[in-house]
Every structure is written in C-alpha cells, then in structure tokens.
Chain A
Amino acid sequence: MGNALRLENVTMQFGGVVSVNNLSLEVPEKKIIALIGPNGAGKTTAFNCITGVYQPTNGLIEFMGKPIVRNHPTGKAAKSYKGQNEDKYKNEAVLSPTPDEITGMGIARTFQNIRLWKSMTVFENVLIAKHQHAKQTVFSAVFRGNLAEEKRMRDETMALLEEQGLDIYKDELAVSLPYGLQRRLEIARALATKPKLLLLDEPAAGMNPQETIELADFVRQIRKKYDLTVFLIEHHMDLVMNISDYIYVIDFGSEIARGIPEEVQNNKHVIEAYLGVAEEAENE
C-alpha cells in the first residue's frame, strides 16, 4: 500500500526562525502514525503546513501520491533562507492551496485548543462540516429547492452523532459539553468532511489517564470503521506508545529519531530531548 501523506524537505521559516527544518516523513495508508517532540519543537507548525494554514518556505507535500503543496524560497525569503535544498523545487510550479481546498481533497484536522463554533449546537457543529460537499447554490438554498439534499445532510449528521454517542447532546450548545466530549465532537466534526486522512493535534491534551485510555480505543475504532489513515501529534507518551504503528520524533524543527514505539522509547536522542542531557543535570 502507498503513502497517504509524504513530506519531503519541508522547511518553514518565520523571519530568522526556522520552526520546521528539512522535515521528510511518510504516513502509510491505513496506519496510525505519531509525530512527537518537546514543546516548541514545531509539530503544530508542521500540521499547519500540511493543512494550508501556512505555506512552507521550501519543500513538497504529497497526498495519495499527488503533490498538493510545493514551494521554494524566492525574493526576500531566499536571501534570509537558512534551510537546505532550496534549489530542489526551483523549476517546479508553486502549489499553495487554501485550507478549505485541502479539506476538500480529504484531509481533516482537529485543533490543539478546541475550536468548536461557540454559538452553535452540537448538531449544527457537525452539520456545517457537510456544507462543502453540498451541491446547492445560494438560490436553491434560499428558495428551498434542495430539500432532499438538506434532509440527506441532516440524516448523515444524525447517524454520525449516534455512532459517536453524542446524539443525546444534539441540541445543547457545543461549548457546554464536558471537555472530553468536546474533543470527541471535534473529531466527529472532522469525520463529517469525509476525510481519508485525519490529523489529530494533541487529542489527549488535558485528559486524565482514564479518558486517555478511552481515547486510544476510540481512535483505533474510528480508524477501522472509516478506513482512515491517522496522523497525530501527542505529548502523552502512554497514548503514543499504545496506538502508534510508527513514530517520528522532532526537536527544534529537525527530525531526531524515527521508528516503531519500542525503538523510539530506547533511543538516546529522544531521551536527551525529553529529559535533558546527563551532563547538564550534573552541572546544575
């Protein structure tokens, strides 16, 4: 099976700061892959490059074997560029889709700090994610020429909520749900866009150990049920070691290790990055 997602020499530089440095990784189809690293390592920036929130300074991103994002430093960015491989994509067209185009291709995401629509109910939150696939125009929407489509959208939303066990909260405001359920709702909303690849940005942030275990099962279930590929960022080592098939570790924007959970767990660089170097500890 091929790769759902492939990053090649992706560099993201903000002014003089390189947040993601020459990152290359592969996310094979139907697997659960994790990206870990200490705070400020550039994990979320990497996600934002994949989802079109940022345009990477240099590099190529492929989805299902097709290039979706490609850039090389030009002008002012080229002068201050600190990364590598700046000539590699020079002769190829720049691709910079907007986040909604990326979502349309089949990549859905959740956010580190939950971003649900505050004034809307649980049901509406999921229903809006169906809007992009609707074929209606403004006129057919206003004059209600699309009742069948509207009904189908509502039915699909209801089915999804039932599957996620959120149907009893359907008329409540999304923000009034307990924290764990808000996370779950955000995942349900991402699923409503019918993704092939699901990006989870710290799904276990702020959860207790019990909730984390449940989340691991939940992620496995939806992976199987919707035939997804899952790519996640996480801090909870329990969760990462428990569910990932393969792990990439980055620190200061660069990759420091990769491998299956056991390998990464015992990797010297990873331990150093997370716990600090032994000498430093002695000096203190």
Chain B
Amino acid sequence: MKQKKKSFSAVIGISVLLLFVILLENISALIPGLPQVFQPTSPLFTVLKKAAVYSLVAVSMNLLNGFTGLFSLGQAGFMLLGAYTYAILMVPADQKEQVYYLFGGCAFDSSLMDVLGKLFGTSGAGGAVSMILSCLIALILAGCVAGVFAYLIGIPVLRLKSDYLAIATLGFAEILRAIFQWQKLGKVTNGANMIKGFPTFSSFNITNSSGQIVLRLSTFVPFLIVSLCIVLIVLLINSSYGRAFKSVRDDEVAAEAMGINLFRHKMLSFVISSFFAGVGGALFAMYVANAQAKAFTSVMTYEILLIVVIGGIGSVSGSVLATFLYVACSEWWLRFLDSEQYIGGFKVPLLRNGFRMVIFSIVIMVIVLFFSQGIMGSNEINIGALLNRFKKKERKQ
C-alpha cells in the first residue's frame, strides 16, 4: 500500500516535471516580451539538454560505482559506442555522400530511417512516425551495442579489483577512441571526422507546412527519454537484484557466502550500466548534433565521476541534482567570469578568459570539503518527507 502510494507520487512528479519543461520551452511564443532567459536561444535550454543527457550517464555510473562498488572509468568509451551506433544507423541515405565525402561514401547504403520511411512514408504524419520509431530503435540498439561490448570486456576485466579495474576500463575506453579514429574504418566511422546529418533533438520540434515551429519539443524529448531510463534504473536498484548489488558492494565475502554469484551480479551491473551509458552517448550525439571520437576523452569520464562524487556515491537523486548544478555552473552561471566586467566605472580585477575554471575548481573543492559524502550522501530526495516537515513547521507556528 505504502509502496503503491510512493510509486504513484513518483509518476505524478515526473509528469509534472515534463509538462513544466514543455511549458518553459514554449512560453516565449505564448507570452511575448519575456526576458532573454526564456527565449529559445537562451543558455538555459542548452544547460537543460546537456544536463539531462549527463544525468543519465551519471546515474548509470553511480549504479556501477556507487551501488555495486565497481570502480570503473570506462563510461566515455561506452558513450562513444552508443553515439557512433546511433549516428551510423541514422544518417539518411541522401546525406551519406556529403558526410562520408573523404571516403567516397558509406559502407551501408541505407539507414534505419530510410527503411522505416518506406513503411510509413517520409512526409507528414508518416514521416514523424518513422523518425520517432527509428530514433527509438537506434537508441535501444546503441545501448545494446554498448552492453555487448561491456559483456565481452567484462569477462576478463571484472575479475580485477578496485583500482586495477579502473585502469583496465580506462584503457579500454582509450583503445575504442583510437579505433574509431582509424582511417581504414573510414567507410563506417568516417575516420577522425565527425558524422552528422542525423536527427537531433531539434528534429522533434513540430513545424507547420511553411517550416515555422509550432511546438518546441527539443528539450522535452531528452527529458522524457532520460527520465524513463532513470526510472528503470531506480526500479532495478529497488528490486532484489539491486539489494544483491549493494551486498556485493558492502562485503563481497559475505555476499558470496550468502549465495550471491559475484561474477554474474557484477557482470549484470556492468552490462546494464554500460547499456544506459550507450543510450546516454547516443543522446549526447543528438545534443551536439554530431558524433566524433575526439569528444569522448577520459576527461569526460572524470567530469561524470566528479558529478557522481559531488552528488553522493549511492544516491540517484544526488547524481541528478549534481549534474544540473555542475552543467549550469560550467556552461552558464560562471560564464561572466570569463570576460571583463565593469561595475559603474570600476573594472573588476582578475576577470579574464579562463578565470571561470579557477572559481569552478574552488567551488568544487569547497563542496568536497564541506560535504565529504557528496551533497546527498547515500540518501534520496524524498518529496513526501519534505512536505511533512513543512506541515510540521506550520503546525508549530
């Protein structure tokens, strides 16, 4: 009964959030004369999109590092696999010549979208259906490719412990990056050049016949997909398997003695985490509108690791919260520090290009010093408990 009430309020919460995102996106069209922040070109939406994508990867990394206790640094590698799978599958046939011009065309003639386009038609409602469907299939396949690679690499690597596992997975990610830049594979991966021309988030905006945008959905779509994925991860964590993962994290010897197959459960967590990292990578490709191996460096993994640590290892809501704060700080709120600012006639000292990163590092250090367990520790945000606390306060007054 309690469980049902909880899941019901979670569904309501997520629906409200998604509706709010749609409203936020389209508010500038409904009410003219709003401040610049609400215009479609505002950094607000860049931050929201990027943070949504990153939060999925952060949660997937938390599943592995925080809930199963496997210190893996291969997340960027699995994102790369996902991004390339999505990109290769989704570049439309008529764009291929242009994208792969250095290699004289692509190894595959048609794309997923063309195949489905033949079934449903390419324009109007049929075109929309074929695009949405092919996007979904490509996203799932992106996750599956990452999952399969995780399984294969997991067989030798998951026998390693802590730091050694981190080194091995980091090496794996770097190898993948090198392979995808290899010129000989150019007909598939386009070598070191970027693959583009596939549907991105803005392809989901609904336009009228003259090409004007009627309803913006480009921020809503990543929010929808990411929240669906995070709900699945949370359901897994709260199931019997999630508890088994936690027992492996707390004490491997005891877990094994209580009948939990260590290798199987570690593998399961590794594959599932990589699946969602792959989906996250595909979403990242949609966000930046290209797929390029150069983007998926180990720095990206560290960024995500930082987010997980700041949010609290073992807290899903902490990871999500930390992602939005992190991305907002690095992309938006601290931008003003990079350019010269004047207050009245007074020039603020120190502000110049690159100063943002100094402040950003100090902020992170302060957070780590004062919240040594991360913002949330291993707790979750509990809206019901928060509401109850407010109610109690009101009663006291």
Instruction: For A142, list chain B residues within 8 Å (CB).
Output: 232, 235-236, 239, 241
Q: Once the chains are docked, how many angstroms separate the CA of A202 from the CA of B250?
A: 22
Identify the A interface with B (CB < 8 A): 51, 53, 98-100, 103-104, 108-109, 111, 115-120, 124, 127-134, 136, 138, 141-144, 146, 150, 153, 189-190, 192-193
Cβ of B380: which chain A residues have Cβ within 8 Å of it?
none
Residue pair B259, A118 in contact (C-beta under 8 Å): no
**Which B residues contact A (CB, under 8 angstroms)?**
232, 235-236, 239-241, 243-244, 246-247, 249-251, 253-262, 268, 272, 314, 378
Q: Is the CB of B262 within 8 A of A100?
A: yes
Give Cα A108 to B254, complex, Å: 11
> How far is A117 from B314 in the complex, measured between Cα atoms in Å?
15
Can you add 5 more A-B contacts, CB < 8 Å, to A100-B257, A111-B254, A132-B260? A103-B258, A117-B250, A117-B251, A120-B247, A131-B243
**Which residues of B have CB within 8 Å of A150?**
239-240
**A115 touches which of B239, B241, B251 (Cβ 8 Å):** B251
Tell whether, in the assembled complex, residue B254 and residue A131 are in contact, meaning their CB atoms are under 8 Å apart: no
A97 to B253, CA, bound (A): 15
Can you identify 19 A-B contacts, CB atoms within 8 angstroms? A98-B261, A100-B262, A115-B251, A115-B257, A116-B254, A117-B255, A119-B246, A120-B243, A127-B240, A128-B244, A128-B246, A128-B255, A129-B258, A131-B240, A131-B241, A131-B260, A132-B261, A144-B235, A193-B259
B258 touches A128 (CB 8 A): yes
Query: Shortest Cβ distance from A52 into chain B, in angstroms?
Result: 8
Assembly CA distance A143 to B231 (angstroms): 11
Measured in the bound complex, the distance between the Cα atoms of B254 and A127 in whole Å is 14
- A100→B266 CA distance, assembly (Å): 14
Q: Which of A98, A124, A130, A141 contacts B239 (CB 8 A)?
A: A141
Contact yes or no, B240 A153, CB < 8 A? yes
Q: Which residues of B contact A109 (CB under 8 A)?
A: 257
A119-B377 Cα distance, complex, nearest whole Å: 12
Task: Report whether over half of chain B's contact residues are helix, strand or loop; otherwise say mixed.
Answer: helix
Q: Determine the chain B residues whose CB is within 8 A of the CB of A143 once the complex forms.
A: 235
CB-CB < 8 A to B244: which residues of A?
A: 128, 131
Is A128 touching B239 in the complex (CB atoms < 8 A)? no
Whole-angstrom CA separation of A141 from B261 in the bound complex = 17
| B363 smallest CB distance to A (angstroms) | 29
Name the residue on B nearest A199 (C-beta).
Answer: B257
Q: How far is the CB of A152 from chain B (nearest CB, A)?
A: 11
* Complex contact A136–B256 (CB within 8 A): no
B250→A124 contact, CB < 8 A: no
Residues in A with CB closer than 8 Å to B251 are 115-118
Q: Of A104, A117, A134, which one neighbours B254 at CB under 8 angstroms?
A: A117
Q: What CA separation (Å) do A53 and B256 show in the bound complex?
A: 9
* A128 & B268 in contact (Cβ 8 Å cutoff): no
Taken together as a complex, chains A and B put the C-alpha atoms of A111 and B258 apart, in Å, by 11
A137 nearest in chain B by CB position? B241
Q: Which residues from chain A contact B255 at a C-beta distance below 8 Å?
A: 117, 128
Contact A129/B259 with A124-B243, A141-B241, A143-B235 known, Cβ cut-off 8 Å? yes
Q: Is the CB of B241 within 8 A of A132?
A: no
Give the CA-CA distance A280 to B125 in the complex, in Å.
97
Q: Which chain A residues border B243 with CB–CB below 8 Å?
A: 120, 124, 127-128, 131
B241: chain A residues at CB < 8 Å are: 131, 138, 141-142
Q: Which residues of chain A are near B240, meaning CB under 8 Å?
A: 127-128, 130-131, 134, 136, 141, 146, 150, 153
Chain A residues with CB under 8 Å of B260's CB are 100, 128, 131-132
Contact check, B259 vs A117: say whether CB atoms are below 8 A apart. Answer: no
In the complex, what distance in Å separates the CA atom of A117 from the CA atom of B69? 13
Q: What is the bound-complex CA distance between A103 and B262, given in angstroms? A: 13
For residue A51, which residues in chain B have a CB less than 8 angstroms away from its CB? 257
**CB-CB nearest in chain A for B378:** A119
Q: Which residues on B sit within 8 Å (CB–CB) of A190?
A: 258
Contacts of B247 in A (CB 8 A): 117, 120, 128
Contact B258 A132 (CB under 8 A): yes
Q: Tell me whether B236 and A99 are in contact (CB under 8 A).
A: no
B residues within 8 A CB of A118?
A: 250-251
- Which B residues are CB-close (under 8 A) to A120? 243, 246-247, 250
CA distance A129 to B262 in the complex (A): 14
What is the distance, in angstroms, from B377's C-beta to the closest C-beta of chain A? 11
How far is A135 from B32 in the complex, measured between Cα atoms in Å?
Answer: 58
List A contacts of B258 (CB < 8 A).
Answer: 100, 103, 108, 128-129, 131-132, 189-190, 192-193
Query: Nearest B residue to A195 by beta-carbon distance?
Result: B259
Measured CB to CB, the closest approach of chain B to A235, in angstroms, equals 21
What residues on B are CB-neighbors of A115 within 8 Å?
A: 251, 253-254, 257
Q: How far is the CA of A124 from the CA of B254 in the complex (A)?
A: 14
Residues of A within 8 A of B272 (CB): 138
Complex contacts, A127 vs chain B, CB 8 Å: 240, 243
CB distance from B385 to the nearest CB of A (A): 15
Q: How far is A59 from B254 in the complex, measured between Cα atoms in Å?
A: 25
Which residues in A have their C-beta under 8 angstroms from that of B239? Answer: 136, 141-142, 144, 150
Chain B residues within 8 Å of A119, by CB: 246, 249-250, 314, 378
- Minimum Cβ distance to chain A for residue B151 (Å): 13
A106 to B181, CA, bound (A): 53
The one of A100, A124, A153 in contact with B259, judged by C-beta atoms closer than 8 angstroms, is: A100
